[in-house]
Chains A and B, each alone.
Chain A
Amino acid sequence: MRTVFAFTLSILLCISAQAELKWEQTTIELNPASGDKQAIGHFKYQNVGKTPIRFRSVQSSCGCTVAQSQKNQVQPGEKGEITATFNIGGRTGSQIKTITVKTDDPAQSVTALTLKTMIGQVLALQPTFVYWKTGEEAKPKTIIARASKDAPIGNLDVVSSSPDFLTKVEPGPGRGEFRINVQPRQTTKPVTAALTIKTDYPKDSPKIFAVTARVTGASVAK
């Protein structure tokens, strides 16, 4: 009987215990503009308790995100924030990074903060690599380019770094879609080219993308 009472009491104590470090929000969603190098989230908190709280550690789930606390100790009533800086680099799409904050708050010593970043692309290319084996028939291969809804791209300019590849741009089946046909002049010897794709939008700062075309050293099975 005493055991059951003690267990129930411990459950009730856990439920009634309030974290003294109160967070404004533990999840932040960011939508950086095209070309931004970083996305920064500010996780604000306040010590609503009666004793100081000390941060033990602030750790990110990814080396691409640097999380920093303004202070090591938060006095009662004091406010502050953890700044999470996400380096976008070459990342695309939805990125979810977690920051684990450990404190000496007896009610809640560990808090997980989530930084959700949606990195939009003006132009999505599929695939970003086309290749032929040596001796393979030099048929054209197609790269599909899709403009994002808010990017009114009317045309693409494709330039090959090597004269060994021919390129041709055609309108695709959907709105904002293009077909980039790539064809090697020959497949008798290995050759590599970077294809540079330039948009006509935005007019003052067109976006440039790159894909790779190759005739590889591997031969087709005979």
Chain B
Amino acid sequence: MNSPALREALLLIVLAFVPAIGEAIYFRDKISWQSPVPASEMVKVAQARAWGDNAIWVDARPDNEFDRDHVPGALSLNEDRWNELLPQFLALWSPEKKVVVYCSTQGCNASREVAHRLRSEAQLKDVFVLEGGWEEWLKKR
């Protein structure tokens, strides 16, 4: 391949990337299937682990995923069986403990929804969403 053709091909590729990069920057916080969560309501695995016994871990994934494996001591609380599982969680909740909610991936919205409902409907404080979810916890197991 001669060099002018290669140069033009590269130029075309660069030109094609310009609008794509612009859109990616403009919509970086507007991924439609994720509700935005303020940074103050997120927690990293290391921080959540450092809370030790002062944290209650909540697994927002479906029952079959929870049954397969979960954070040791975590309580299952998903929206499929919300009305059944919420009273079980509230019976074990303690006001001095922080609540860490996780689901399966960063793209998963379940932990955000569960954390939101615990804050708004049950009016609990100190409810956090685990950054990176279950996969991130597994990496740092």
A, B from the same assembly: yes
Residues of A near any B CB (own CB < 8 A): 2-3, 6-7, 10, 61-64, 87, 89-91, 96-98, 125-129, 131, 133, 192, 194, 210, 212, 214, 216-218
- Chain B residues lying within 8 Å of A6, measured Cβ to Cβ, are 8, 12
| Partner-contacting stretch, out of B21-29, B40-48, B83-91, B133-141 | B83-91
Q: Is B11 an interface residue (CB 8 A)?
A: yes
- Chain B residues lying within 8 Å of A214, measured Cβ to Cβ, are 90-91
| Bound CA–CA A194/B96 (angstroms) | 22
Q: Are A218 and B95 in contact (CB under 8 A)?
A: yes
Besides A3-B11, A127-B123, A192-B90, 8 more A-B contacts (Cβ < 8 Å) are A3-B12, A62-B110, A64-B62, A64-B80, A89-B80, A90-B81, A218-B95, A218-B96
Q: Are B83 and A90 in contact (CB under 8 A)?
A: yes
Residue of A nearest to B95 (CB): A218
Q: Are B80 and A61 in contact (CB under 8 A)?
A: no
Q: Are B87 and A194 in contact (CB under 8 A)?
A: yes
Return the contact of A89 from the options B61, B65, B81, B124 (Cβ within 8 A). Answer: B81
Asked, given contacts A128-B121, A129-B122, whether A192 binds B95 with beta carbons under 8 Å apart, the answer is no
- Chain A residues lying within 8 Å of B110, measured Cβ to Cβ, are 62-63
Q: Give the B interface residue count (CB, 8 A).
A: 34
Residue of B nearest to A192 (CB): B91
Q: Are A128 and B81 in contact (CB under 8 A)?
A: no
Q: Are B11 and A96 in contact (CB under 8 A)?
A: no
Residue of A nearest to B78 (CB): A89
Q: Are B95 and A61 in contact (CB under 8 A)?
A: no
Q: Are B33 and A61 in contact (CB under 8 A)?
A: yes
| Bound CA–CA A7/B16 (angstroms) | 9
| Bound CA–CA A18/B53 (angstroms) | 58
| Bound CA–CA A86/B56 (angstroms) | 29
- Chain B residues lying within 8 Å of A87, measured Cβ to Cβ, are 80
| Bound CA–CA A7/B10 (angstroms) | 12
Q: Is B2 an interface residue (CB 8 A)?
A: no
A/B interface sample: 10 pairs, CB < 8 A: A3-B11, A62-B108, A63-B110, A129-B124, A192-B90, A192-B91, A212-B86, A212-B90, A212-B91, A216-B93
Q: Are B62 and A63 in contact (CB under 8 A)?
A: yes
Residue of A nearest to B77 (CB): A90
Q: Are B94 and A216 in contact (CB under 8 A)?
A: yes
Q: Are B62 and A210 in contact (CB under 8 A)?
A: no
| Bound CA–CA A2/B9 (angstroms) | 11
Asked, given contacts A3-B11, A98-B32, A212-B87, whether A217 binds B124 with beta carbons under 8 Å apart, the answer is no
